[in-house]
A and B are shown apart, each in its own frame.
Chain A
């Protein structure tokens, strides 16, 4: 399973765009990249998943370069309620494989 590396923490202000980058140098051909958000004392919430290039949904965008060795989660116009820990995970979709959580990035949004 590919290991991921993310910044431990990030600070931002309301209304700003936040980009969190994740490194996964050993990503395998069949691996997908998935991002989760976790608030204290809650289970992780699925944000977005992608394999290559760009994926966008109503919550975020995910940018994946051609070599797929990194990915960037982009949160447009963050609010105070976006303060949470964000996890980048890499794993094979559709298989029996499990997801291994790294330490995640604690995002703090200030007014």
Chain B
């Protein structure tokens, strides 16, 4: 299957700082990527849909000014958590649609964020 990578795999930061997470589709081009958040023992929650060359579409309740998404190329989307606070600590997972195989979504390995 298609490969999606994320960087970093984990990050610890102080409250008030900003953190950038990268999501890359390694062997295919993805016009659409998705960002999810997962709290312990819970399911994945969709945060936003990232479209190459246009603004992201955020789910209800997700602050677009806090979670900045940039999809500058067909293989890279970034999520920046601005002014992070302890309640933003979570597991962030991206996914990308592979146009070669019926637009199936493939997920990255996730990024663990801990805000102190």
A residues near B, CB below 8 A? Answer: 32, 34, 36, 41-46, 49, 87, 93-96, 98-104
Contacts and interface: CB of A to CB of B under 8 A. Distances in A.
B115 to A, nearest CB: 17
Nearest to B112: A41
A32 B45 contact: no
Contacts of B4: 43
6 contacts: A43-B94, A43-B108, A43-B109, A46-B107, A49-B104, A98-B49
B28 interface: no
**Which DSSP category, helix, strand, loop or mixed, fits chain A's interface?**
loop
Interface residues of B, number: 26
Contacts of B43: 87, 101-104
Can you list the 5 inter-chain pairs with the closest CB atoms, starting with the nearest?
A: A43-B107, A101-B44, A94-B103, A101-B43, A44-B107
Given A41-B91, A96-B32, A98-B34, A46 B106 contact: yes
Given A32-B102, A93-B103, A100 B93 contact: no
A96 B49 contact: yes
